[in-house]
Amino acid sequence: MVDTSSLIQSLSHLRGVRVVAAMSGGVDSSVMAALLKEAGADVIGVFLHVWDYSREEVAGHGSCCSLDDAYDARRVADQIGIPFYSMDMRDNFRDNVIDPFIAEYESGRTPNPCERCNRFVKFGALLDAADGLQAAYVATGHYVRRHDDASGVRIFRGADERKDQSYFLATINRTQASRILFPVGDLQKDDTRELARHYKLLTAEKHESQDICFIPAGDRIAFLKREGASAGFVPGDIVDTEGNRLGGHDGIAHYTLGQRKGLNLSGGPWHVVALDGVTARVVVAHPAEAMIRRVEVADEAWIRTPADGEQLLAKVRYQMKPAACSLRKRVEGYELVFEIPQKPTAPGQVAAVYAGEELLGGGIVQAAHREMAVDATGN
């Protein structure tokens, strides 16, 4: 049984403090709001309406932030006795998440919409809305830990290694981080569900969302075509790093760097190592040649700036385990140099930088450099 009393004690400093609870309609944010309420915080539940699901061919079941989720969030707020608002963030979401998502796939990059939603919507526009509500903090159901010290805000990987979501917060800045709370970050996922049952929340057995919230059917290609991403569907050649043609394709939007499945090429295995939005070329290499050593990063943000000589780790893919690296400053941004070559990542993905379990910050991958030969696009 989860020690509820110790959890509530850890939140006792929030008694009487106004907190906006970002409620997605899932079990994690439901428990987060219930914990804050029991701790005596002045909690206001907020659901972010980011996408018009009437345009979809499915009802939105199984996705984050759907109409069903909005209904569940409102009912949970009623259960625990807090005021609730639904905020229309559709224009913000279109400008900062949807349009960049489409443009990135057209150019051969692989965007990370969850990161952009966190940076510009949840911890951008929502913090502005919190100011309007005179709230000191915004709280979420992310599996991330916050343990401040005399130096200020400190963010750490979630206690549940399988559910850790710190990677998606790597591009928020120190000011934003200082106003965000993560009440379930010290819990295991099973403990969160146990607490949901303890509070008798209607979301206790609700399944987790798996798809991108604005693609509830999971068909990225159909979405991109419907949204007019024509440049991503120009037919072209699949070539090796020497420029030898191995086959053809129906558009670079079908591919992402590091991809190895669905290439249908002889002589494999192959990994995608470059996508050229100008020539519509897909470049592939054998696994040993595809490994990367250096990653260029821009749009950086730091919660805590790395100290000179500090031992660092980094993740450049969500499923990657943090790997030892060094950081080199560039005229714009910086470069991560891994001690051991890593599997490929794609421009547009997040580079998250850690010191042990602590998330220091990160940025957006601009380029990844392989160990071996120059590829057929000239990179």
Q: What is the pLDDT of residues 160-169, one digit of tens each?
A: 999 999 999 9
Question: 132 lies in a domain?
Answer: yes
**Can you give the CATH number for the domain in which 75 is found?**
3.40.50.620
In the set 64, 65, 114, 117, the catalytic residue is: 117
Last residue of a domain, one of 285, 305, 321: 285
How many angstroms separate the CA atoms of 13 and 28, rounded? 21
CB atoms closer than 10 angstroms to residue 75: 15
325 is catalytic: no
- Is 114 annotated as catalytic? no
Residue 288 CB partners (closer than 8 Å, separation 6+): 372
Residue 151 forms part of a structural domain: no
Kindly state whether residues 261 and 366 are assigned to the same domain.
no
Domain extent at residue 279? 234-285
Asked if 188 and 60 sit in the same domain, the reply is yes
Q: Report the alpha-carbon angle 273-294-115, nearest 5.
A: 75
And the tokens for 298? 């821009």
Angle (CA) 230-236-238 rounded to 5° is: 130
Give the DSSP letter of residue 212.
-
Residue 266 inside a domain? The answer is yes
d(CA 123, CA 301): 13
Q: To which residue do tokens 């991108």 refer? A: 212
CA 243 to chain centre: 34
What is the DSSP pairing of strand 312-315 with strand 350-355?
Answer: antiparallel
Task: Tell me the CATH number at 249.
Answer: 2.30.30.280
Whether the pLDDT of residue 63 is over 90: the answer is no
Domain total in the chain: 3
Are 264 and 309 contained in the same domain?
no
Q: Is residue 301 part of a domain?
A: yes
State whether 48 and 194 are in the same domain: yes
Name the pLDDT band for 324 (thresholds 50, 70, 90): very high
* 87 occurs within a structural domain: yes
Position 3 scores a pLDDT of 83
Q: Which CATH number is 297's domain given?
A: 2.40.30.10
In a domain, 167, yes or no: no
Domain limit, last residue, from 243, 268, 285:
285
Positive/negative CA dihedral, 272, 223, 68, 93: positive
Q: Which helix (H) or strand (E) holds 11?
A: none
Neighbours of 150 (CB within 10 A): 4
Domain stop point among 285, 320, 355 = 285
Same domain? For 114 and 257 the reply is: no
Indicate the average pLDDT of the chain.
90
Asked, for residue 335, whether it belongs to a domain, the answer is yes
| Other beta carbons within 10 Å of 220 | 16
Query: Do residues 247 and 104 share a domain?
Result: no
68 pLDDT tier (thresholds 50, 70, 90): confident
Of 65, 114, 213, 325, the catalytic one is 213
Residue 65 reports pLDDT greater than 60: no
Q: Are residues 267 and 361 in the same domain?
A: no
Identify whether residues 258 and 347 lie together within a single domain.
Answer: no
Which tens digit of pLDDT belongs to each residue from 351-374? 999 999 999 999 999 999 986 544
Q: CA-to-CA distance for 316 and 89, rounded, in angstroms?
A: 29
Residue 223 domain flag: no
pLDDT in tens, 274-286: 999 899 999 999 9
Statement to judge: residues 357 and 330 lie in one domain:
yes
Residues 238 and 250 in one domain: yes
- Let me know whether 351 and 307 are in one domain: yes
* Residue 31 to residues 92, 160, 273, 318, Cα–Cα distance (Å): 27, 16, 42, 24
Please indicate, yes or no, whether residues 256 and 364 belong to a single structural domain of this protein.
no
